[in-house]
Structure 1
Amino acid sequence: MPKAPRFPPTNRRVVEVLAFPSVKLLDVTGPIQVFASANAFMAQAGQETPYAIRVVAQAGDLVEASGGVELAAHPLSPTDAVIDTLVIAGGEGVAAAAADTALIDWVHERAKQSRRTASVCTGAFLLAASGMLDGRRAVTHWAFCAELAHRFPLVNVESDPIFIRDGDVWTSAGVTAGIDLALALVEEDLGRAVALAVARYLVVFLKRPGGQAQFSEFLSLQAAEDRFGALHDWISNHLADDLSLPVLATQAGMSERSFSRHYAESTGLTPARAIEKLRVEGARHLLSETRLPVKRISQRCGFGSEETMRRSFLRILDTTPQDYRARFTR
């Protein structure tokens, strides 16, 4: 086992995880288990446990999380109390939490007191409501990235990363990404060897391959469905055909110049980039839902060759078609 670093008991790091009614259970328990496992590893190595972990909630006592599971929670700490790490969980109840001015104020003041602040999944909405994400890069669950960007235009929302660190503020993608984020926090505190030992114990990647685009639809294209939905449907049924700019413009009933301009305004992508994404999307489905050879899939989706498809997968999903199939085959 790797040698655990010395960690004096006077430096125990207080980790508070904020919960609220209808919080997502794994958003709370996932990060907590990472910190708890780091404590267990350090204790096994004969060292003082580095983390003092507690769940806090506005009402204190019991908080009903997703699935009807009740979590025991401490009342909200005084905003000037000692804290190292504040973690904001997400879940269905985050909309109500992000509309509670008293809770928003507490998050803002508590975050200023903490060495670092993190959100899990849709917890980013509460963190954004507190103003702590203004001018920062951030991520949330892929299904809510567009909404986060729309509601909080001062936040620089990115849809693909599993987690993002911007200074002393961390945000993570959906649900299990809170585990990835917590492992990164442990690695920052205790080193790679300890974080890797925790990841191995939990049977997860220390740094999982690829981003959350592996799990999502392509958000920028979805945002343009009102204007170009019919065109996207047509493209999806003609992936192996000629999808050059003149063909697309004709299908959309526009001049090439007008089509290029309006399409970029609606999607943030050039038509060529969008075609590549739609071809990757088609290949994703065939890789996970059929047993067709990769070569056949590359031809059916208009890549022409396996190598071209591999390069597109690496560029867009940060993984190869073979690795994608291995992880997502039904």
Structure 2
Amino acid sequence: MTMRDVAFVMYPDYSTTTLTVVMAFEAANSVTEAPPYELHFVSETGGQIRTCSGMMVESEPFAQTPFHTLFVGGAANPTASTPGLIDYIRNAPRLHRRIVAISTGAFVLAEAGLLDGRNATTHWMHAPRLQAQYPAVKLAQNCIFTRDGPIWTAAGGAAGLDLSLAIIESDLGAGVAKAVARELVIYHRRTGSQSQISTLLELAPKTDRIHAALTYARDNLHKPLSVADLAEAAHLSSRQFSRAFLAETGHSPAKAIEILRVEGARNLMEQSRHSIEVVARLTGFSDRDQMRRAFLRAFGQPPQALRRMARLEATDSVETSVAID
């Protein structure tokens, strides 16, 4: 098995949350007979680098050493980069086969010009600032991760794990990626096009009762889910429930249920081989036409288009790995 050098660029005020991706490559080394990755930590000065949490990380100084994959993590301050760091990243495509930014690491890549004209994402909190500062970036604000040629970006630490699993699958195959996911006790990776914010978080219920009703709905999408059913889950009368639900979420119960159904159906369309009819039935739509109309309202695209995009993303990932290797 080919050994691949993976390097993590460190700099002062570096966010330790982006180091969660290290776990994926450590796990890949533990689940294979011959470790496929050698991990490095590099910085402008070398030596110990203090992260934003106060943890010290030992690093090698920047050099002309080529790496298979170079990770640029985020910082508590998105503008914490230095001229030496930017020069190193600007020259990175000449040295390294794959370049990855996690969270606000996208600002470093953007400042170095690596994201001009490319699809990229960052944490939703910083996305408007990234777009304003670097208008040449094609910002995929709602994606958890993106890949545009050799440049990958992820929205944050958890999304970085999904991206890392995608990279491992691209490098070593689906079997190893699934073994890594099991090692980390997480679901096999989400596709990059999935939303950064889940529907439950977006609806933002303020009380436990409304949250309980939404959780019940999410876990029972295959059922009709009347207002009376949700009110019972919230231990409120139907009238009290409808009034409280609208006040807390800004949506009627019917609209919120449609949002939950669409999110569940999209996940199944992207991650399963179920037919459209089966997906519609599992997520509570009366038929495929009703689901199609809901998808058009939510995404502007039919279910089949989102499934094709997810499959194309997976195919492109494998083809990129072949080209890189």
TM-score w.r.t. the length of structure 1 is 0.65
In structure 2, what is the equivalent of residue 71 of structure 1? 57
SS of structure 1 residue aligned to 2:157: coil
Indicate yes or no: 2:22 matched with 1:32. yes
In structure 2, what is the equivalent of residue 62 of structure 1? 48
Question: 1:260-315: per-residue Cα shift (whole Å, max 9, x none)?
Answer: xxxxxxxxxxxxxxxxxxxxx44655688643475447954376664x53332354
CA distance in 2, matches of 1:124, 1:13: 23
- Structure 2, unaligned stretches of length 5 or more? 218-225, 231-240, 269-282, 284-325
1:161 Cα deviation from its structure 2 partner: 1.2
CA distance in 2, matches of 1:187, 1:282: 33
Indicate yes or no: 2:174 matched with 1:192. yes
CA 87–288 in structure 1, closer or farther in 2 if over 3 Å, else same? farther
1:176 Cα deviation from its structure 2 partner: 2.1
In structure 2, what is the equivalent of residue 16 of structure 1? 7
Share of identical aligned residues, percent?
A: 30
SS of structure 2 residue aligned to 1:134: coil
Q: Which amino acid counterpart does residue 25 of structure 1 have in structure 2? A: T
Moved more, 308-317 or 197-206: 308-317
Alignment map for 1:264-303 (pairs within 5 Å): 281-282=202-203, 285=206, 290-292=211-213, 294=217, 295-296=226-227, 299=242, 300-301=245-246
Number of aligned residue pairs: give it.
240
The partner residue of 1:145 within 97, 106, 127 is: 127
Alignment map for 1:153-232 (pairs within 5 Å): 153-208=135-190, 210-214=194-198
1:165 Cα deviation from its structure 2 partner: 0.9
Indicate yes or no: 2:66 matched with 1:82. yes
CA contact (8 A) 2:13 2:80 kept: no
1:163 Cα deviation from its structure 2 partner: 0.7
CA distance in 1, matches of 2:200, 2:212: 21
CA contact (8 A) 1:20 1:93 kept: no
CA distance in 2, matches of 1:162, 1:114: 23
1:139 Cα deviation from its structure 2 partner: 0.7
- Structure 1, unaligned stretches of length 5 or more? 1-6, 218-280, 324-330
CA RMSD of aligned residues (A): 2.9
TM-score w.r.t. the length of structure 2 is 0.66
SS of structure 2 residue aligned to 1:211: coil
SS of structure 2 residue aligned to 1:143: coil
